[in-house]
């Protein structure tokens, strides 16, 4: 074992002591170059495999206003649209109005030539006068009152004659009875010889004569009764003849009523050849500009008040269940303009099928909204982009939606802590297109990574580039 030399005590200050040189073994230049190269390669390998922080975009969890909206396309529509049509058949004169012209209620919009209708009115008046005259002529076909009175008098005379003949019958019957008694008495007297045979035969002849007179009286009475029946039948015939023209009166009354109804319609049509504005507003469209023949019901032009617009928004039926009357509507007013405000008035109860741009059948529902802000910059049937607010809160803990990713059936985010990514499982609530409500799992002010890729994992070094808060 080699002994080291014993140190010598030197009380001089350190700076005054003589410097000792370290004697190293001498190396060749070639070895020194190789050593330097080896050290450089080692340093390069260490630098290449060292953990390099991944640059990420970050944002902070903060409080703020959150709105959950249903984004859709809609169009404006005039609430009360009036389609003015031709009220009658006829030749329309050229319409002098243009789209966009303002009209007042009662202003003349169009005119149909009234001459054909006026001619029809005159023709109907002539036919009405004809039927009225023929109805009045029916009275001349009735039996006169004097004829009826004469028939009644004849009946009374026939009845009187009948009673007279009946009295003669009774008188002849009494005379016959007396003649029978005289004959019987004469037969008894002649048998006793009190009278002669001639007297008996005279009594028998008298009985026969009285019997003949009774028969004659009865025939006369029967004839008188027949005369009464004939007189009564004549009166019945006259009365029936007086009632027979009643059916003619009904015929003429029906014809007169028909012509009067036709005349009333023609007069009404003639009065409606001047077509006037039902309300004040603007001319939206003109379907028939030039002069031409039109039929009743032909659309001529459309009127409406453009200051009374409403929104018609068709949304998916699954989104419509969350929309309620009274929900706010944010309407894109155009470039460099603040959004217009509206309110949902009605969610229509019936859906309809619509083919999307991708050819997929969708069940959609119309949502009707009213403007709250002024809609002067819009017109009828303008397309607008709208957002229907179905939920909102002014103070909600939230983070950007781009920071979320699925981890199983839950939601997770990466936070930045001590320069490393830290995965956290969170629970979210309402979501908008940009942000999500945080219910638990993360605190206010924490920094989250936006748009995390597969390179990001728990514990990996990251460096934030900053982003939206």
C-alpha–C-alpha distance, residues 145 and 319, integer Å: 89
Q: Mean pLDDT for the chain?
A: 83
Displacement of CA 456 from its chain's centroid (Å): 58
CATH 2.40.30.170 residue spans of the chain: 68-78+304-391
pLDDT in tens, 369-414: 999 988 778 888 899 999 999 999 999 999 999 999 999 889 999 9
CA-based end-to-end distance of the chain: 73
Q: Which of 115, 131, 109, 132 is nearest to 266 (CA)?
A: 115
Please answer whether residues 352 and 364 qualify as being in contact, where contact means their C-beta atoms are separated by less than 8 angstroms.
yes
- CATH number, domain 81-113+273-303: 2.40.50.100
Say what the pTM is: 0.57
- CB-CB neighbours of 166 under 10 Å: 17
Residue 24, token pair as written in the block: 């190293």
CATH 1.10.287.620 residue spans of the chain: 143-244
pLDDT in tens, 129-164: 887 777 777 666 566 666 677 777 888 888 888 888
Please answer whether residues 433 and 70 qualify as being in contact, where contact means their C-beta atoms are separated by less than 8 angstroms.
no
- Per-residue burial over 339-361, b = 16 or more CB atoms within 10 Å of its CB, e = otherwise: ebebbbeebeeebeeeeeeeeee
Residue 1 pLDDT level (bands cut at 50, 70, 90): very low
Three-state DSSP state, 17: coil
pLDDT reported for residue 215: 86
CATH architecture of 55-66+394-464: Beta Barrel (2.40)
Displacement of CA 441 from its chain's centroid (Å): 52
C-alpha–C-alpha distance, residues 96 and 301, integer Å: 12
pLDDT in tens, 443-455: 999 999 999 988 8
Give the pairing of strands 462-464 and 54-60.
parallel
Please give the average per-residue pLDDT across 289-307, as a whole number: 90
pLDDT reported for residue 469: 44
Please give the average per-residue pLDDT across 341-355, as a whole number: 94
Length of the chain: 469
Please answer whether residues 98 and 435 qualify as being in contact, where contact means their C-beta atoms are separated by less than 8 angstroms.
no
C-alpha–C-alpha distance, residues 159 and 146, integer Å: 20
In CATH, what class is 68-78+304-391?
mainly beta
CATH 2.40.420.20 residue spans of the chain: 55-66+394-464
Beta bridge partners of 398: 62, 437
- What percent of the chain stands above pLDDT 90? 37
C-alpha–C-alpha distance, residues 411 and 431, integer Å: 13
Please answer whether residues 414 and 457 qualify as being in contact, where contact means their C-beta atoms are separated by less than 8 angstroms.
no
CATH for 143-244, among 3.30.70.260, 1.10.287.620, 3.30.70.380, 1.10.10.60?
Answer: 1.10.287.620
Handedness of CA 364, 369, 371, 377 (dihedral sign): positive
Handedness of CA 282, 286, 292, 295 (dihedral sign): negative
């Amino acid at each position: 074992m080699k002994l080291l030399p014993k140190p010598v005590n030197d009380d001089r200050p350190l700076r005054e002591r003589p410097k000792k040189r370290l004697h190293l073994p001498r190396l060749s230049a070639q070895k020194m170059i190789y050593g330097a190269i080896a050290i450089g390669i080692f340093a390069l390998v260490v630098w290449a495999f060292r953990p390099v922080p991944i640059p990420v975009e970050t944002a902070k969890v903060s409080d703020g206003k959150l709105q959950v909206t249903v984004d859709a396309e809609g169009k404006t529509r005039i609430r009360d649209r009036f389609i003015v049509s031709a009220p009658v058949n006829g030749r329309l004169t050229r319409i002098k109005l243009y789209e966009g012209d303002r009209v007042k209620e009662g202003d003349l919009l169009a005119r149909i030539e009234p001459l054909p209708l006026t001619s029809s009115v005159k023709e109907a008046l002539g036919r009405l006068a004809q039927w009225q005259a023929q109805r009045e002529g029916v009275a001349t076909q009735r039996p006169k009152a004097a004829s009826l009175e004469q028939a009644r008098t004849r009946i009374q005379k026939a009845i009187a004659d009948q009673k007279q003949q009946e009295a003669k019958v009774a008188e002849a019957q009494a005379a016959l009875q007396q003649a029978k008694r005289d004959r019987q008495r004469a037969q008894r007297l002649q048998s006793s010889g009190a009278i002669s045979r001639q007297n008996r035969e005279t009594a028998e002849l008298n009985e026969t004569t009285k019997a003949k007179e009774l028969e004659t009286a009865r025939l006369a009475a029967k004839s008188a009764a027949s005369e009464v029946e004939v007189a009564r039948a004549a009166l019945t015939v006259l009365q029936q003849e007086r009632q027979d023209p009643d059916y003619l009166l009904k015929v003429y009354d029906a014809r007169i009523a028909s012509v009067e109804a036709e005349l009333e319609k023609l007069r009404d049509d003639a009065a409606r050849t001047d077509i006037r504005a039902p309300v004040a507003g603007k001319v939206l469209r003109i379907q028939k500009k030039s002069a031409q023949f039109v039929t009743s019901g032909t659309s001529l032009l459309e009127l409406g008040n453009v200051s009374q617009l409403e929104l018609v928004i068709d949304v998916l039926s699954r989104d419509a269940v969350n929309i309620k009357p009274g929900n706010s509507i944010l309407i894109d007013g155009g470039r460099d303009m603040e959004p217009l405000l509206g309110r949902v008035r009605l969610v229509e109860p019936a859906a309809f099928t619509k083919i999307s741009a991708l050819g997929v059948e969708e069940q959609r529902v119309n949502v009707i909204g009213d403007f709250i802000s002024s809609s002067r910059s819009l017109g009828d049937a303008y397309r607008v982009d709208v957002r229907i607010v179905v939920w909102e809160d002014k103070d909600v803990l939230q983070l950007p939606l781009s920071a979320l990713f699925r981890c199983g059936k839950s939601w997770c985010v990466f936070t930045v802590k001590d320069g490393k990514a830290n995965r956290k499982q969170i629970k979210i609530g309402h979501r908008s297109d940009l942000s999500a409500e945080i219910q638990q799992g993360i605190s206010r002010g924490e920094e989250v990574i936006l748009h995390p890729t597969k390179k990001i994992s728990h514990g990996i070094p990251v460096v934030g580039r900053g982003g939206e808060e």
